[in-house]
Structure 1
Amino acid sequence: MVRVRLSVAERREDMLRAAVQQIEARGVSAVRIADVASALGVSNALVLYHFSTKEKLVAAAFRYAAEGDLAQLRKLLGRRTSAVRRLRAAVRWYAPTGVAKGWKLWIEGWAAALREPVLREVAGDLDQQWKAALIEVITEGVASGEFRCEDPVSAVWRLTALLDGLAVQMSSYPGTLSRTTVLEWTDDALARELGIERTALTAATR
């Protein structure tokens, strides 16, 4: 069997993907360099050569996974349609009952960031990028007269706080809330923050 020689970038990406899978399976505190190495059939030393410490590997894996979700968010918000359509599509995708895959990793990251400065810096930067993307579209919608929102920054903080809290609850206690209920609450919150009736929100996005 011919062994394919990977470039440095390809090797690092393989390690990041494996680290994400191991973190999701074991949690940040329990995952080891050896787990990632074993999953790829390489030595611990090779993983350490690329990332030097477990903490740096975990932070890089978190950024790798979260940036994938961030790219999808920006894709949804960048569509050529009304601001309200883009916002509702993005919020419903991002909601814990949507199709965004990063919730488990985000929750693991929040917990670990309490004690890991490197991860805290990475998570904080990514969180601000999420908020900035939503703030931009809300500001655009206000300027075009689609809706009324006196303080887009505060609105986004409240909206993401709701979604983050629901994600923690639903991940910790699965089955306690239905998908329908969560999406109704999400629509309620979005309509309230945009200063429009909920019926106007849903009518605009049919």
Structure 2
Amino acid sequence: MARVRLSVAERREELLRAAVEQIEARGVAAVRIADVASALGVSNALVLYHFSSKEQLVAAAFAHAAEADLAHLRRLLGRRSTAVRRLRAAVRWYAPTGQAKGWRLWIEGWAASLRDPELRRVAASLDQEWKAALTRVIAEGAEAGEFRCTDPAAAAWRLTAFLDGLAVQTTAYAGSLSRTAMLRWADAALDRELNLPEEGGSVGVSTSVGEDVAGDGVPAVG
């Protein structure tokens, strides 16, 4: 059966999805243009027509995977609710919850970006977007008097640094910490940054938000 002819945008989307899958399976260092081509049953030349090098393909795949998660983060933070509820949902969703595949992609990207300037640029830009989105809602909640936070940007940095470090530990040493403990620690970290009472860790998170967070698992990247 002949392959359906795809538009340029559709073909690029297909190649990026395949590249993400191959990076997750093989790692950035080991993945080849040929692996992506073989997974789709196309030629190496076709992949190189859309992406001139492996480095460009990897950077684009990393950005492609992250953009979907950034879109979901924006939806969580854009809900019509208190800043605390929105931040709680975002932090719980971002926290590693046992589905390590997405975090493996981020960790692979971080490691490879040490030697790949293009990937480093992409990863840094995406990271800044995450922090900026959290900073805006923290500032909004502080201005509304929901909590006290004198430096929203620093709070966003500390939160993401804590969750990133937790993800590295739990991905490298699978099973070292339960999902319940990770979520409890994520709640406690947010409470500290917002100067909320410690016992209020789960207060303000409705059942629907909790179910949404649990269902989403971890970000595909970040």
Cα offset for 1:109? 0.3
C-alpha spacing 1:82/1:163, structure 2 compared with 1 (3 Å): same
- TM-score relative to the length of structure 2: 0.90
Shift of 1:190: 0.2
Aligned length: 206
Tell me, in whole angstroms, the C-alpha distance in 2 between the residues paired with 1:196 and 1:101.
32
Structure 1 pair 201/147, CA: closer, same or farther in 2 (3 Å)?
farther
Whole-Å Cα distance in 1 between the matches of residues 99 and 83 of structure 2? 21
The whole-number CA distance in structure 2 between the counterparts of 1:101 and 1:24 is 7
Deviation at 1:199, TM superposition (A): 2.6
Return 5+ residue gaps in structure 2 as ranges: 207-222
Question: What whole-Å deviation, never above 9, does each CA across 1:36-71 have from its counterpart, x for those lacking one?
Answer: 000011000110110000000000000000111111
Shift of 1:132: 0.4
Pairing 1:195-206 to 2, within 5 Å after superposition: 195-206=195-206
1:117-196 aligned within 5 A: 117-196=117-196
Gaps of 5+ in 1: none
CA offsets, 1:91-119, max 9 Å, x none?
A: 00110017796312111100000000000
**What does residue range 11-50 of structure 1 map to in structure 2 within 5 Å?**
11-50=11-50
C-alpha contact (below 8 Å) 1:94/1:100 kept by paired residues: no
Work out whether residues 149 and 194 of structure 1, in 8 Å CA contact, stay in contact via their aligned partners in 2.
yes
Is 1:107 aligned with 2:107? yes
| Aligned residues with identical type, % of pairs | 72
Call closer, same or farther: CA 1:64–1:167 in 2, change over 3 Å.
same
Structure number with the bigger relative contact order (C-alpha 8 A, sep ≥ 6) is 2
Distance 2:74 2:94 in 1: 12
